[in-house]
Amino acid sequence: MNRKMSGGYKTFNAFNILFLTILGLVMFLPFLNVIAQSFSSSAAITSGKVTFWPIEFTLINYEYVFSDASIWRSFAVSVFITAAGTLVNLVATATLAYPVSRQEYVGRRIVVLLVLVTMIFSAPLIPNFILIKNLHLMNTPWALILPGAISAFNFFVMHSFFKQLPAEVIDSARIDGCGELRIMTSMVVPLSKPVMASLGIFYAVGHWNAYMSALYYIDQPKWWPLQVKLKKMFETDDISIDPGASQFSDLAFTSPEGIKMATIIIATLPIILIYPFLQRHFVKGLTLGAVKS
């Protein structure tokens, strides 16, 4: 890759670096603006003075968010759904993908087709809604976990990974008297740690950010995940004065912007914290998935 640099190419290179720098800033500066607003006073925000650093630095927006029990409740719901949901996802995907990846499984083509069809043709909203209603899952966290238990795409990623596991190793375990479930838990899963990590992350981020299914299936505030709570906060301009403390009432009526920005930061913090770990895995997960097609 040591191609010589012509004059024209040098100019291109300089412009390329400039362009990509600007692009990076366009992606990054909005974050900085939101962070700055969350630490600024309402007066500074409403007068439009806040750009990329806090003006009249204050923690009152965060104090407000921390003292609002309903936000904490939603945070806890989101944590539960992300943890339980990801566990269900991985177990359900692996228990279908492993047997179907084995040569000994007679109907494997039929199962693969069964999954493939759902990728190409999916049912409209209302029949799904009626199903959730008839299963009495409405207003339970399971309505956010079960309907998406296996993603067809992730099934295929895991399926193609399991197919590459050497059959003779599994056969010799069988000869040693290992049951299929034992083989799965003590051999297959440890061998597929990288793919489990990648798909686990895809599933977890999906659960944390999910808004649509909660909007469809949950109308009781006690089971609202954080994203729904956040949206409700944006819809009303005067933030509910839930905490009741007089120090906040003025803030909530004059400028709820800072409060909203602080909630955004708190809702995004878990993702930002795991991002370095995440980045290592999603590239792998995505390119793994591409190999199959």
Partner 1 sequence: MSTKPEAAEALPPGMGRRRVKSGGIARLMWKYKALYIISLPGILYFLIFKYIPLGGSIIAFQDYNIFKGFTGSEWVGFAHFKTMFEHYDFLRILKNTVLIGLYDLVIAFPAPIILAILLNELRLVLFKRVVQTVVYMPHFLSWVVIAGMSVAILSPATGILNQLLGLFGIDPLYFLGDNRYIRSVLVGSGIWRDTGYGTILYLAALAGINPELYEAAEIDGANRWKQTLKITLPALLPTIMILFLLHIGKFLDFGFERVWVFLNALNTENGEILDTYIYRAGLLSQQYSYTTAVGLFKSVVGLVLVMAGNFFSKKTTGESLY
User: Which parts of 28-57 interact with partner 1 (CB under 8 A)?
Assistant: 28-31, 33-34, 37, 45-48, 50-51
Residue placing its CB nearer to partner 1 in the complex, 166 or 244: 166
Report, in Å, the least distance between residue 275 CB and partner 1.
Answer: 7
CB of 87 closer than 8 Å to CB of 149 = no
Q: Is 104 in the site for partner 1 (CB under 8 A)?
A: yes
Cβ-proximal residues to 84 (8 Å cutoff; 6+ apart), any chain = 141, 145
**Closest by Cα among 263, 130, 147 to 207:** 147
CB of 76 closer than 8 Å to CB of 58 = no
Q: Which of residues 163-182 bind partner 1 (CB under 8 A)?
A: 163-168, 179-181
Q: Which of residues 183-222 bind partner 1 (CB under 8 A)?
A: 184, 205, 208-212, 215-216
Report, in Å, the least distance between residue 111 CB and partner 1.
Answer: 6
Binding to partner 1 by CB under 8 A, coded x per residue (else -) over 128-147, reads: xxxx--------------xx
Q: Which of residues 59-78 bind partner 1 (CB under 8 A)?
A: none
Report, in Å, the least distance between residue 287 CB and partner 1.
Answer: 5
Report, in Å, the least distance between residue 81 CB and partner 1.
Answer: 13
Residue whose tokens read 């297959």: 188
Tokens of 50: 């806040």
| Helical pair 69-101 and 193-209, crossing angle rounded to 10 deg | 140
CB of 192 closer than 8 Å to CB of 285 = no
N residues, the chain: 293
Q: Is 254 in the site for partner 1 (CB under 8 A)?
A: no
Q: How far apart are CA 157 and CA 170, in angstroms?
A: 20
Q: Is 267 in the site for partner 1 (CB under 8 A)?
A: yes
